[in-house]
Structure 1
Amino acid sequence: MRALVLRDFWDFTVEERPDPVPGPGEVLLRITATGICGSDLHGFTGENGRRVPGQVMGHETVGRVVAVGPDSGTATLVRGQLVTVNPVLACGTCRHCAAGTEQACRQRRVIGVSAEISAAFAELMTAPLRNVVLLPGSMPEEYGALVEPLAVGYHAARRGGCVADDRVLVIGGGPIGQACVLAARRMGATKTVVTEPSAPRRKLIASLGLATLDPRSDDLADQVATMLDGPATLVLDAVGTTGTLADAFACSDLGARIVLVGMASPQVELAAYRVSTDERTIVGSFTYSASEFQETARWVGTAPPELSRLIEARTSLDDAPAAFTRLALGDSTFSKILVFPGGPAAQAQGARE
């Protein structure tokens, strides 16, 4: 198979690698498309220390079943079915897994992050059967690559206890910020605003029927309060820096919940008194549970019309290194780019291995 290999930081190459063979309890997939995530981009540049040279990355993916490995129990998947993959590999036996909070499993690994796993920027990959989620064949096939980032936003909104009467501020209008605000809307919130410095991203969010602001405004807190009819009661920080947390405090009400889902900075400073004296709650959010991933997959399977606006560019495996470089250098304004190992034409509905 052909795969996109991180030969070194800032250096991708397309290489021939042995076709993977599904082991017991595994499924072999032919990849249709895989999204470029911000963490992939930081792995490409070496910024986050979570990727290593020689690795095949990619975790936001959709593909079709090629084969099911031996000893797969009562597996009902058949060749050609459309599926996505939950990349969070949990042990399945610890107390967190038993409680349905697999993302907290101490033994968890993540496809596309763990270097020993050949992941989704390739023509083929294997995945555990229990992590493969069936999608309806009637939906636009490429939407399956959006399930993973949308599940991240859904989990963040749930971690924040989002309810219909919340005044929701989402900080950052990239793919995770977009996922957060769509999740809040799915959960009934009608008062939402997104702060985002990039004009193209603000335009994309506005096309979804959502309000946006430039966070560099001098009167940001006043503008947020005006647009939400009061300070935010729930903030979903999809960036994660000292500056964005400061904006979260400035723009939120006493007793507000602030969810930190962005990981732009490994360390941040915060105004401790603003937490204690204003009785705010700061909540961490990482990936999602298996049930939240499945719920999001079901929603995506209904082909909500707004999803068509989230995919801004498509590229082939051969052109993917250039796409990564443009994104890393800031020469591309696209929020979500999908990599098609078979070329962008592989998105055609009904494609088969």
Structure 2
Amino acid sequence: MGIPVQALVLKKWWDLSVEDVPDPVMGSAEVLIDVLATGICGSDIHGFTGENGRRVPGQVMGHETVGTITRIGADAGMFGLSIGDLVTVNPVIGCGHCENCLEEQDQNCPDKVVIGVAASYSSAFAAQMAVPAANVVVLPATMPVAYGALVEPLAVGYHALRRGGCSASDRVLVVGGGPIGQACVLAAQRLGAAAVVVSEPDRHRRDLIELLGAAAIDPGIGDPSELPGRVATALGRRPTIIVDAVGVGATLETAFACAPIGAVIVLVGMGSIRLDLAAYEISVKERSVVGSFCYDPEEFRQTADWVGTSPPALAHLIDQHVPMDSAATSFTALARGESRASKILVYPNVATGPVPGDLR
């Protein structure tokens, strides 16, 4: 065993503590990464509060990350990685031999492990982490370091729009302007959608959406029955794809209310474990409801390549950069709804004080 590393440990629900943990044990096909920055995801907040049952006390969470390689396993040389590479990590680890994995659909592997979710992995809210070399994607050293922590959530949005079949002929409504909604906006633009509009009640998030180049509508203004017409006006016609980036009863109702006959509704938000569906709204109107969870390996790589070009829109996505000892406060503020931040990055190798500019 080497020198312990610091990590943000989920002690119990609503309680995170910075502690020394054993240094990661690196397998021969793995690499060791010094973690530079890790984003706080909505699923991390749900894990912090204990509301979704997908985290357990004692674990180290975190999966939206960027870092540098410090050691390479003896059997990892085939992946073309070098010590010092700036990298991000695809947190979805498939079994490698099932039908889905062989078709590069690791996200559908029945035995997959997700870094940051599985308690067996000491994950990215830590100074170091060991990960399979096959899941590491090299980033340009010239890009802003912080952008590397955006690859994972942006890949979620990209997969959602691809699941919806988005193309240049589509007009897209995104319900919810949080981090995943923002990722869906950028994905629709990447795929050439004719127009994109977002329904979002929070003024701060609507302003951000407009900075990304999409129209934003406050669904709380006027009679709710007028919302479909307002969406159609903003898009130039009714939407062909509706993405629910929140995943609660009210947002799914909004999606159905705005969906014309034959539309595709993509459910990527995970705000509720169970939702009621109006069955006739699907069958009689021949709509398609499509589930979307994460991404396949190629979509992750494509998104990393895109992020590596430093698109100007990414400068608007990160609200705060915090050291390790401020992370628990940020989690609590987000969970209580006291913070308006869309994306907060935690810097595990910065114990306290301001985060240096060259890490951002």
TM-score range, shorter chain: over 0.9
Q: In structure 1, give the amino acid aligned to 2:130.
A: T
Q: How does 1:75-154 map to 2 (within 5 A)?
A: 75-154=79-158
C-alpha distance in 2 between matches for 1:317 and 1:41 = 16
- C-alpha distance in 2, partners of 1:70/1:325? 41
Distance apart, 1:73 and its partner CA: 4.1
Q: Shift of residue 88 of structure 1?
A: 0.2
RMSD of Structure 2 on Structure 1 (CA): 1.2
Q: What TM-score do you get using the length of structure 1 for normalisation?
A: 0.97
Q: Pick from 171, 187, 210: which aligns with 1:183?
A: 187
SS in 2 for 1:157: helix
Check whether the contact 2:323–2:355 (CA below 8 A) recurs between aligned residues.
Answer: no
Verify the 8 A CA contact 1:32 1:347 in the aligned structure 2. Answer: no
Give the stretch that moved more between structures: 104-113 or 236-245.
236-245
Q: Say whether residues 1:248 and 2:255 are aligned partners.
A: yes
Superposition pairs of residues 176-255 of structure 1, within 5 angstroms: 176-217=180-221, 218=223, 219-255=226-262
Contact in 1 for aligned 2:61/2:122 (Cα 8 Å)? yes
Q: Which runs of 5+ in 2 are unaligned?
A: none
C-alpha contact (below 8 Å) 1:143/1:300 kept by paired residues: yes
Q: Residue type matched to 1:279 in 2?
A: E
Name the structure 1 match of 2:325.
318
Q: 1:345: how far off?
A: 3.0
Q: Deviations over 1:229-254 (max 9, x none)?
A: 22211011101122111111111111
CA deviations on 1:248-271 (whole Å, 9 max, x unpaired) are 111111100000000101111121
For 2:164, the equivalent position in structure 1 comes to: 160
| Offset from partner CA, 1:289-326 (integer Å, 9 cap, x none) | 00000000000000000001000111011110011011
**Rounded Cα–Cα distance in structure 2 between residues aligned with 1:74 and 1:158:** 30
Equivalent residue for 2:358?
348
CA contact (8 A) 2:197 2:215 kept: yes
By how many angstroms is 1:21 displaced? Answer: 3.3
Q: Whole-Å Cα distance in 2 between the matches of residues 235 and 33 of structure 1?
A: 32
**Higher alpha-carbon deviation: 253-262 or 243-252:** 243-252
Q: Identity, % of aligned pairs?
A: 58
Residue 299 of structure 2 is matched in structure 1 by: 292
- Contact residue 321 and residue 355 of structure 2 kept, 8 A: no
Equivalent position amino acid for 1:243 in 2: A
Q: What letter matches 2:29 in structure 1? A: G
Give the Å deviation of 1:346. Answer: 4.8
Contact 2:157 2:180 in 1 (8 A): yes
The Cα shift of 1:8 comes to 0.5
* Structure 1 position 206, deviation (Å): 1.2
Residue of structure 2 in register with 1:53 after alignment: 57
| SS across alignment from 2:35 | strand
| Counterpart pick for 1:306 among 282, 305, 313 | 313
- The residue identity in structure 2 corresponding to 1:234 is I
Distance in 2, Cα, partners of 1:160 & 1:304: 23
User: How far did residue 342 of structure 1 move?
Assistant: 2.5
Rounded to whole Å, the distance in 2 between the matches of 1:228 and 1:340 is 39
Q: Distance in 2 between matches of 1:199 and 1:342?
A: 34
Alpha-carbon offset, residue 329 of structure 1? 1.0
Cα displacement string for residues 165-190 of structure 1 (whole angstroms, at most 9, x for unaligned residues): 21100011000000001000000013
Distance 1:143 1:250 in 2: 36
Which of 257, 274, 277 aligns to 1:270? It is 277
SS at 2:55's partner residue? coil
For residues 53 and 324 of structure 1, what CA distance do their matches in structure 2 show? 15
- Does structure 1 conserve the Cα–Cα contact (< 8 Å) formed by 2:256 and 2:281? yes
Note the C-alpha offset of 1:164.
Answer: 0.7
The count of aligned residue pairs is 350
Contact 1:32–1:346 (Cα < 8 Å) also in 2: no
